[in-house]
Every structure is written in structure tokens, then in C-alpha cells.
Structure 1
Amino acid sequence: MNAASLADSARTDATLPAGLSPTEETLWLARAGKWDAAHDACQDLPDPAGAWIHAWLHREEGDYGNACYWYSRAGKPAPSRNAPLEAEWMEIARALCR
């Protein structure tokens, strides 16, 4: 599934689509607003992918300091506090989706 279709599914579908990879499932949960489930799932992913999603989740939550820690673990620069979350989610999804 590509990033755009994953985002569409997360906005419209009530449940995870079948056949997603663990990374895609975590991204879907994050985009669908299921923060706790996404947070739990990203901790089971190997770094740097898990750390990058983890960073995004903490930035979405408003915990910028914790997000910066996870960006460093992911080897990614931390965006500004006010950078659009949706645009970053798409960047992550484009990089990590099959």
C-alpha cells in the first residue's frame, strides 16, 4: 500500500486493512488518531523506522523534547515545533511504505 492510500484508509476505514506490514499498521494507527495503539506498536519496530514514527507521535502529542530524543535515535533532524504534522506523516509514510 502506498502512502496516499494508507492515509485515505486511516481517514475513512474503521479497522486496519488486511495485509499491512507492521510498519504500515503503525503508521495507519498514528494517522487514524489511535495514539496509544500506535505508540505501543512503534516500540516493537526496529530503529530507525520505529524511532521515526515514535518521534512523530511525541511531536503530535506536544512533547517536543521527547520527540527530539526519538528523532536523534532515528537519525533524523527534528522539524520545528510548528512544522505541519500531516506533511511529516506523509514524508514518513512515503519513506517507509512498500
Structure 2
Amino acid sequence: MAEFEASLSGAAPAPDLDAPLAALWWAAKGRWDEAHRLVQDEATPDAAWVHAYLHRVEGDLGNAAYWYRRAAKPVATGPLEAEWEAIAATLHGRPSA
């Protein structure tokens, strides 16, 4: 996780990141469109979770709720930064698909 966070000083995510983690990387850089593009057509629960987070960042809570359901996750209500950390920590601990 520390390596992932340290990579945020770079110009692009590591090429070996899966789409959900790469999307979180772009989201942390404030590049919503790049992040959204990576997960919008992914059919995995992890991508749906990141997709939900992105719509929450955008302020589209109805759309976010849909994606939380697709991810089988409860709708987040806490700080966005805490959610980003939780998603990143969870996904970083999983092997790439």
C-alpha cells in the first residue's frame, strides 16, 4: 500500500495495476474522467465499488447507490478520503485478476 501511495507522485499509474486500482490512482490525482473510463465497462465487483466511489465524488448519489448495489457494498457516507483509503487498502491486498 505504501508503494501504491508513493506512486501518486508519478505521471501515470504502474502498468501492472488492474483497472480498479488504476482508477483509484487517477482519482487521487483529481483525474475523474480517466478514472471513470477505466471502470465504467468493467463487470467486476471491485470495479463497481470504485465506480460507486467515483460517482459519490462527482456528487451523483443516486448513480453511486446503484453501483454500490452492483458491488454488494453498503452506501458509503463517511469522508471521501477515508473511503478511498479503505477501497485502496482492500484492493491492494488482492491479487490482480
Q: For the superposition of Structure 1 and Structure 2, which TM-score range results when normalised by the shorter chain?
A: 0.7 to 0.9
Question: In structure 1, how many angstroms separate the alpha carbons of the residues matched to 2:59 and 2:71?
Answer: 18
On the 8 A contact 2:45/2:70 being kept in 1, the answer is yes
What is the TM-score when the length of structure 1 is the normalising length? 0.82
Which ranges of structure 1 fall in alignment gaps of 5 or more residues? none
Question: In structure 2, how many angstroms separate the alpha carbons of the residues matched to 1:89 and 1:21?
Answer: 16
Higher RCO (C-alpha under 8 Å, 6+ residues apart): 1
Of 52, 56, 62 in structure 2, the residue corresponding to residue 55 of structure 1 is: 52
RMSD of Structure 2 on Structure 1 (CA): 1.6
Question: In structure 2, how many angstroms separate the alpha carbons of the residues matched to 1:54 and 1:23?
Answer: 8
Which moves more between the two structures, 26-35 or 48-57? 26-35
Q: 1:85 aligned to 2:85? A: no
Match of 2:72 in 1: 75
Which ranges of structure 2 fall in alignment gaps of 5 or more residues? none
Tell me the number of residue pairs that the alignment of Structure 1 and Structure 2 aligns. 93
Match of 2:19 in 1: 22
Which moves more between the two structures, 27-36 or 48-57? 27-36
Identity %: 48
Residue 46 of structure 1 and its aligned partner are, at CA, apart by 3.0
